[in-house]
Amino acid sequence: MVKVAILGGGLTGVTLARLLCGRSHDVVVLEGEDRCGGLCRTRVENGFTFDTGGSHVIFSRDTEVLKFLIDLLGTNTIRRRRKTKILFRDRYVKYPFENGLYQLEREDCFRCLFEYIRSYIAAEKGELPAPKNFREWMYFTFGAGITDLYLLPYNEKIWKFPPERMSAHWVEGRIPRPPPEDIIKSAIGIETEGYTHQLFFSYPRRGGINALIEAMVAPVRDRIRCNFRVRSIERVEGGFILSDGKERIFADRCISTIPLHALISSCHNVPDRVRNACMDLKFNSLYSVLVGIEGEVPPYSWVYTHERGRGLFNRISFPSNYSPEAAPAGCSSILAEITFRCGDEIDRMSEEAIVSHVVDGLHGMGLIDDPSRIVHTSISRQEYAYVIYDLDYQKNIAIVREWCRTQGIDLVGRFSQFEYLNMDGCVRSAIDFVKGFP
């Protein structure tokens, strides 16, 4: 018998285990895979180190969480200044897009500036109605120029879901309206910086982002059960019986960090209304295509690609620019991210075809001048990657959360809370939960 069972050994799960054990709670982490990490897993192949759940770096506005993460890594950390670009009509434009307007053609620059100012003035005068969805929010916040040229096509590409059918509540506070003085400075070529909380980021020198998981797990490794995929959760008097189909574990408390879909499908006696609400919660999956090459890559951190003609990928990162130990001597690495929805055209492609498509795209962009320089390729698939906030999200999530509350199942982290939480948000959710834990 254990007091607290934590379902899932991703970043949230292992953070919970470390914090709860630090408060002398009896804890077991039940992880379905053969090792912990979730989206923060890392793969080492032919001397290359790749983060298989997409490119991850460490930054945060939350100073408590940021210090906690950096202290965990200790000397195994390296600090970098962001050098991020948007590939726009064969130009590598400064990121965020609104801070690189001076690098656009003059007509495009004028349109972005004019439409932003027009929208800003109308909003200040109360002449613009409050946006009812994500599409309207983009036009309301950035104006038609920036939205039409970059924001709309990029978000259509990454979400694979119509922006007019997405809620706007999730971006409020996450993405602020840029100050008009910054927009004007950007348009005339005076340097400005956006998203300053990520202007500098940290990354493990060795071990990829999974080094963070390993550091978190170190004092609680004996509390973790890998290869235990929870398939049955039964509420009984005094607690829960959890089973993987072979073994049964009794726990007084059940904290879930696994995706809600997996949780609800494992629970007994779930009302149809709750099951249906859970099934209606939408998400994107992710392919990460991992490429190792001889020689150097451009000195960028990552590059956003919103144009459909560039390829299926929406972001390209360069892990060997994060840490010199991420690639063998004389080599560099590239990671391309492709989001998809279950059953869509991308999901029906073979992994070999996806890798070939990415290599062709990187060559077409000039990031790989000679394909013969490629010495390694592989691919990773993550079923759960991004929460999609459709217009029914708030109704459906409320139904599922309320039922879990009545069953005494606690929900913590990205896919159990079903919120678009970055790494720092996952750690914050664990810290806040433990603060209130009896």
Q: Is the pTM of this model over 0.75?
A: yes
Q: Tell me how far apart the alpha carbons of residues 73 and 66 are, in angstroms, rounded to a whole number.
A: 11
**pLDDT of 198 higher than 60:** yes
Q: Tell me how far apart the alpha carbons of residues 362 and 358 are, in angstroms, rounded to a whole number.
A: 6
Whether residue 245 contacts residue 231, with contact meaning beta carbons closer than 8 Å, is answered with: yes
Residue-wise pLDDT tens digits, 128-149: 999 999 999 999 999 999 999 9
**pLDDT of 126 higher than 60:** yes
**pLDDT of 174 higher than 90:** no
Residue-wise pLDDT tens digits, 373-427: 999 999 999 999 999 999 999 999 999 999 999 999 999 999 999 999 999 999 9
Average pLDDT on 116-131 reads: 94
- Distance (Å) of CA 63 to CA 59, 78, 170: 9, 18, 22
**pLDDT of 438 higher than 90:** no
pLDDT at 249 (0 to 100): 96
Residue-wise pLDDT tens digits, 73-114: 999 999 999 999 999 999 999 999 999 999 999 999 999 999
Domains of the chain, first to last: 2-37+209-281+392-435 (3.50.50.60), 97-192 (no CATH)
**pLDDT of 254 higher than 60:** yes
Q: Tell me how far apart the alpha carbons of residues 326 and 180 are, in angstroms, rounded to a whole number.
A: 40
Q: What is the mean pLDDT of the chain?
A: 96
Q: Which of 151-160, 165-174, 309-318, 391-400 has the lowest mean pLDDT?
A: 165-174
Q: How confident is the model at residue 1 (pLDDT cuts 50, 70, 90)?
A: low
Whether residue 54 contacts residue 385, with contact meaning beta carbons closer than 8 Å, is answered with: yes
Task: Please report the DSSP string for 366-416 in residue order.
Answer: TSSS-GGGEEEEEEEEEEEEEEE-BTTHHHHHHHHHHHHHHHTEEE-STTT
Q: How confident is the model at residue 177 (pLDDT cuts 50, 70, 90)?
A: confident
